[in-house]
Amino acid sequence: MNEVKDYIFTCDKMNKSFGSTHANNNISISIKEGEVRGLIGENGSGKSTLISMIAGMQSSDSGSMSLNGEPYQPHNSQEANQKHIGTVVQELGLVDGLPVGANIFLGRMNQFTKNGIVDLSSLNQEGSKLFDQWGFQPISMNILAGTLSVEQKKIVELIRALSVTPNLLILDEITAALSLNNRKRLYSIIEKLKGAGNSILIVTHDLEEMLSIADSVTIMRDGTLVTTKPSSELTVDSLKQLMVGREINGSYYRADQKESYKDRVVLRGEHLSAERFNDISFQLHEGEILGFCGLSDAGIHELGEALFGIRKLTSGQIQVGDSLNTVVNSTKSAIKNGIGYVPKDRDKQALMVDDSIENNICLPSTNEIQGTLGMILPRRRKEISEKAIKNFDIKTQGRNQIVRSLSGGNRQKVNLARWVKDKTKILILDCPTRGVDVGVKSYIYNAMNQAKSDGISMIVISDELPELIGMCDTILVMKNKKLVLSKKRSEGLTEESLIEVML
């Protein structure tokens, strides 16, 4: 009995199939009291399926789970919550049309209901109390969730998961959305929960992070469980190897450690200002990879949008062209001048997920493929899309496959592939490797290198410092809407030196 008692949660021989895809094949996991368990695997390896079964969002085909030694079989997420399992799912989000307070307790309103009427003030009080308790900056409970930033939303989701006083907290790729300061806070929360004897199951693509916070790591591949090992026995490289199933070389970043680009300036920002950034000036050279980093409210993403003409500038000029005499003031002029843009939120901002790969790939290229009378020939569409699928090695049945049925990494490849074309001279990449696994990540870095050697200039905006340090010729750091630091590529450049400036 005692032995079982040690395990707060076990699942035994879980199976789940979608059609003929065996997403989970005989998965068994046991998590001890006070254990932080990492769960890792490539996109499509079945992590999210396993988590959604534990959280009660999907039912398993076979297998059993137990919680605190009792059989556990949730039919929906409410039941999971009642059993004190809190979950933050990877791509869920909040209900935009409801206030923050209601979002935290949605589906569990009954605890505040008296005579059928929800006591909003005590609900909101409870919500604020949670923010306090876990040390997050308070958010007003009455404002609509839709008005929050992506990071704030993630925090509300976290609070929602914490509000069930979890014995088991499941975090699926939460850290990617968090800024450094909030990441730190998350780590302390994990410590706190751990100290109280609660367990955590965490998924992240950041391998270093994984090794630093998890006590042990479970690795999954192709729907099967590879192994579970204590973190102390693992290194980043061994993790990669286990995940991919073959050896991956030490670094997938650029091999050279020196800045390298031509002298010609292809894009110049002159005192750019808008709502979220102020007086930003910089130059982008031919073949240069320019990185922007900063905390969540530093305005780096908004700058990217502005460079592509989506966000209007209040003052300043974006100059492009041979002698920098053309001004970018709309997406139309941006595209005309060979600027491509890969936005941060792949599924919401970039892809038409319910449409075919072909339609997605051809979307930015219509001007190139239309013929007389503006006719878009199916033949040319086919050419372009098949070329892109081939060049980027997108794993698909064909160009007419729906994007939704692709894995995250392949979706991101589609997203990139459509901009890599002859006309593109400047590529703005906002978090290009967000939510993709190691394999695709290294593929994307390769593609970036390739593009660089083809003379394409890139602006990379990212929250992942190692990525910027590994890939960029120049790194610009933004803080409080302003540019505060510019660093050239060099061997001695460390994350710490950048973080120091950002905070």
Residues 108-127 that bind other proteins (CB under 8 A): 108-110, 113, 116-118, 120
List 27's β-bridge partners, or say none: 14
What is the nearest approach in angstroms of other proteins to the Cβ of residue 420?
14
Q: Which of residues 213-242 bind other proteins (CB under 8 A)?
A: 222
Q: Which stretch binds other proteins (CB under 8 A): 3-11, 237-245, 249-257, 304-312?
A: 304-312
Reduced to 3 states (helix: H, G, I; strand: E, B; else coil), residue 267 is strand
Rounded CA-CA distance 214/211 in Å is 6
Eight-class DSSP state of 213? H
Do the Cβ atoms of 430 and 455 come closer than 8 Å?
A: no
Q: Which stretch binds other proteins (CB under 8 A): 86-94, 203-211, 242-250, 386-394?
A: 86-94
What one-letter code names the amino acid at 291? G
For other proteins, the closer of residues 91 and 256 by Cβ is 91
For other proteins, the closer of residues 217 and 426 by Cβ is 426
Output the six-digit token pair for 119.
């006591």
Residue 92 makes contact with other proteins by CB under 8 A: yes
Q: Which of residues 41-60 bind other proteins (CB under 8 A)?
A: 44, 57
| Extended strands (E) in 206-345 | 216-221, 224-230, 265-274, 277-285, 289-294, 315-320, 326-327, 339-342
For other proteins, the closer of residues 188 and 257 by Cβ is 188
For other proteins, the closer of residues 271 and 332 by Cβ is 332
List 265's β-bridge partners, or say none: 285
Do the Cβ atoms of 111 and 105 come closer than 8 Å?
A: yes
Q: Which stretch binds other proteins (CB under 8 A): 101-109, 254-262, 385-393, 471-479?
A: 101-109
Residue 424 makes contact with other proteins by CB under 8 A: no
- What character string, x for contact with other proteins (CB under 8 A) and - otherwise, covers 320-359? ----------xxx-xx-----x-x----xxxxxxxxx--x
Pairing of strands 113-114, 117-118: antiparallel
Residue 318 Cα distances to 297, 455, 472, angstroms: 22, 20, 21
Report how far Cα 199 is from the mean position of its chain's Cα atoms: 24
- What character string, x for contact with other proteins (CB under 8 A) and - otherwise, covers 354-393? xxx--x--xxx-x---x--xxxxx----------------
Output the six-digit token pair for 148.
């929050």
Output the six-digit token pair for 299.
């305005």
Q: Which of residues 463-502 bind other proteins (CB under 8 A)?
A: none
- What character string, x for contact with other proteins (CB under 8 A) and - otherwise, covers 129-168? --------xxxx-xx--x--x-xx-------x--------
